[in-house]
Amino acid sequence: MEAQLQRLKAILAEVADLNGAAAVLEWDQQTFMPPGGAEDRGNQQATLSRLSHVTFTSPEVGRLLEALEPHTAQLAPDSDEARLIRVTAREFRKRTRVPADMVAELAQATTAAIQVWQEARAENNFAKFAPHLTKIVDLRRRYARLFEPFDHVYDPLLDDFEPGIKTAEVKKIFADLRPRQVTLIKAIADKPQVDDSFLHKTYDEQKQWDFGVDVITRFGYDWNRGRQDKAAHPFTTNFGLGDVRITTRVFKDSVTSALFSTLHEAGHGMYEQGISPTLSRTPLGGGASLALHESQSRMWENLVGRSLPFWQYFYPRLQETFPEPLRGVSLDSFYKGINKVERSLIRIESDEATYNLHIMLRLELEIALMEGSLEVAGLPNAWNNRMVEYLGIEPPNDSKGVLQDVHWSSGAIGYFSTYALGNLISAQLWERIHKEMPDVDDQIRRGEFSGLLGWLREKIHRHGSKFEPQEFVERVTGSKINPDPYVRYLTEKFSKIYSL
């Protein structure tokens, strides 16, 4: 058994290396690659994707798994070896249904689409992007059909990001959450609005960058194993546990945009940096799911970064950095300003109370695209109509509407619900953290984050993807994904800010 396990690990390491190389190319495409490189980059990505797929789905891997699976009963159920065999076998069964040519075709299509999406958003030209998105939607529909029979055509796509979770489960969670968030938003709307005009004065871009770097350094982001660059749409990527990179974007008329983007991506980055080295170059050497990943980024961005204890420590330092635009702005006014609840057009700029509605809108559109009840040509109108229905505002153009997110251009249909699920998990974890670390707010108030990061390292990060998301959340918090803690968090926080 040991020789077979070592041979399997050797093949999986090769796959990890190929995926890491592809990630380098994708990172470069979104940060430094000149526009003229799109065609060549598409060919390179297609080659690497095909090689990775063929290597992973080889008959040899199948034979090794077949030989190893009977022996898993002799291993401790939660051991790295038992979980590696189980997770690899599950992924092998999925990937062997997918032709290598389809993998390469998607890689080539998305590489071209990302480049065109960037241009289309800058030009407010959905028609330019539509043919590329149509091809991606067709590829995703064909991909889903490879997994028939299924409960819902969206299930195979969702499973790629949230292993084991079904579309019906997500719909049920959202159906429970939506009316309670709408009720809270309506109650806030009836109250006098807070002033956040001071956030939109002129703020030096380099100072914004430096302030964010200082904060996440204090959080524990390891610069020896990471770096930060600018990107049109902030993201995190890793080429291995020793190279985890984040990106942000900076606007001179918004002091919070770059900061909260940096905090968010650092949350993703610290998760990857905290995975046990024993899981490196295996299918276990990444986050358990996108929702677990989002729970980390949203926790550091919102539950920490938008909290009063955080700003009791950092606000005097922010005032020293930007004395003129923040002159006369009290801590209380600043805290309320950064937590202003307002119906907004842009998802990543939206507040905690309305954010999930942006996600539900996208989930419904994705499901409709996969079912065939909505075609790409109808997306702008469908998007705008739902924005009016859910948030009471209509995008003035497609750049601030249907073109604002990078996900569809990268083929990540099935991804969006993970953002809202991540919010829910973050609140579940936050309640557990406060039970086990009652003084965590005092630590944050002193600018100390090692205790919080240490708890996350022990409970979440080090395990990589050994456990499926629902199992993982239940192990740590005592229940599966549950909207109740998030609703409690929002209600308590905004009741104080808006005197509800």
> In sequence order, what are the residues at sequence separation of 6 or more whose Cβ sits closer than 8 angstroms to the Cβ of residue 411?
106, 109, 110, 113, 136, 139, 140
Burial class (CB in 10 A: 0-12, 13-18, 19+), 328: exposed
Marked catalytic residue, from 81, 265, 294, 352: 265
Q: Evaluate whether 226 touches 271 at the Cβ level (below 8 Å).
A: no
Q: Evaluate whether 428 touches 485 at the Cβ level (below 8 Å).
A: yes
Instruction: Assess whether 468 carries a catalytic annotation.
Output: no
What residues are annotated to the active site?
265
